[in-house]
Amino acid sequence: MNKRYKILVGIFIGLAVLLITAVFYAFQLFFTANVLVDKSDKAVLIPENTSFKELLQIMEKDTMLTDKISFAFVAKLLDYQGNIKSGRYLLRKNMSNLQAVRKLRSGAQDPVKVTFNNARLKSDLAGKICKNLALDSAAFLKLLNTPSFTAKYGFDTTTIMCLFLPNTYEFYWTVSVEKLMDNIKKEYDKFWTKERLEKADKIGLTPLQVSILASIVESETKKKDEAKRIAGVYMNRLNQNDLLRADPTVIYAIGDFSKRRVLLRDLQFDSPYNTYKYSGLPPGPIYQPSIHSIDAVLNYERHKYMFFCAKEDFSGYHAFAVTFEEHKKNSKKFQDALDRLGIKN
């Protein structure tokens, strides 16, 4: 009896040890930190049709896993290996296998913050938008140059940049072009409130014309406190059917954005964007107009200034003039300052 008892006790102890070991291993397997251990939170990007093997390679490349085998085992138990969903998923530091697999398996993506501003060309804009999304910037740019595509949103290929109000937007990494454009159009329509539309109508411009003029103001100054005054100069010229004579439009037409000095020969460059040769506004924006510049046009400063010129101290501010004679004096000061620095073009 004692012998049998000892055997039973031994079996019981052995089973208990096995059970404790199994529980311990299961705990380690499911609940112990295995993802981004002692690292920072990081997003994993999973493209369409990614296999589980490819996912492991992605996570290994970014050194996300401490133990790949345990992660794979839990993924298999939770039937994730055959249910991989594309997207961007933010994994937190010190996540367990169970937490990480559940996160990835849920398909609940974490949105991407997309900021686009200071774009001069459509290619710049496409690059900024697609940089942190699964969209191809070349394909997106091709759409922005397709008349039938831009027409769906009320613009043509020369004016489509006016639709993209500079701001920070949230999209899912896998967002489609259609969904992205619909959201941007919704924000554009929301921006053009009844009050803004009434202001545009009051100054005799359409929202599109306001945006185009705002793009010139944006190109002229980065000083927010003088944007309304510069807008006022251009409105004075428009209201008197005078040429806008905006240097940034000449630079845009020529396509040399490194220019710091517009020369007389540049003013003869033949382009509908050259407002020294063609009256009215250019066909489209020459820069992505900011919300501040749009509002500066809508609320332009009423004054008698017809001219302005960059100040000779290179502060970024401008000297304003009512008469051409006064403007010539201001302009000479600036030209002399450029000469002293040896800036020829």
pLDDT of 345 reads 72
Same domain, 58 and 119: no
Task: Tell me the per-residue pLDDT of 83-107, one tens digit each, with 9 for 90 and over.
Answer: 999 999 999 999 999 999 999 999 9
Give the phi and the psi of residue 117 in degrees, each rounded to 5: -160, 175
Q: Between residues 24 and 330, which one has the greater pLDDT?
A: 330
Q: Which helix (H) or strand (E) holds 43?
A: strand 42-46
> How much of the chain exceeds pLDDT 90, in percent?
82
pLDDT of 24 reads 43
Q: Which domain holds residue 177?
A: 113-191
Q: Given phi > 0 = left and psi -120 to 50 = alpha, else beta, which region is 111? A: beta
Sequence-separated (6 or more) residues with CB below 8 Å from residue 271? 253, 254, 277, 278
Same domain, 174 and 312: no
- For range 181-199, the mean pLDDT: 98
**Geometric angle at alpha carbon 16, from 14 and 21, rounded to 5°:** 95
Domain assignment of residue 200, yes or no? yes
Q: Cα separation of 319 and 297, whole Å?
A: 19
CB 167 within 8 Å of CB 291: yes
- For range 291-310, the mean pLDDT: 98
- For range 241-249, the mean pLDDT: 97
Same domain, 179 and 224: no
Task: Tell me the per-residue pLDDT of 225-234, one tens digit each, with 9 for 90 and over.
Answer: 999 999 999 9
Q: How many CB atoms are closer than 10 A to CB 58?
A: 14
pLDDT of 23 reads 46
Same domain, 329 and 310: yes
Residue 6: which pLDDT band, with cuts at 50, 70 and 90?
low
Domain boundary among 166, 191, 216: 191
Burial 239-276 (b: 16+ CB within 10 A, else e): eeeeebbbbbbbbbbeeeeebeebeeebeebebebbbb
Q: Cα separation of 301 and 226, whole Å?
A: 9
Alpha helix segments (H runs only) across the chain: 2-31, 52-61, 68-77, 97-106, 122-130, 137-144, 147-151, 177-191, 194-202, 207-220, 227-239, 247-254, 291-298, 324-340
> What sign results for the dihedral spanned by CA atoms 54, 56, 59, 62?
negative
Same domain, 124 and 64: no
Domain assignment of residue 27, yes or no? no
- For range 215-234, the mean pLDDT: 97
**Is the per-residue pLDDT at 340 higher than 70?**
yes
Domain boundary among 66, 89, 106: 106
Residue 9: which pLDDT band, with cuts at 50, 70 and 90?
low
pLDDT of 8 reads 58
Domain assignment of residue 9, yes or no? no
pLDDT of 223 reads 96
- For range 174-184, the mean pLDDT: 98
CATH code for position 100: 3.30.1490.480
Q: SS3 of 16, please?
A: helix
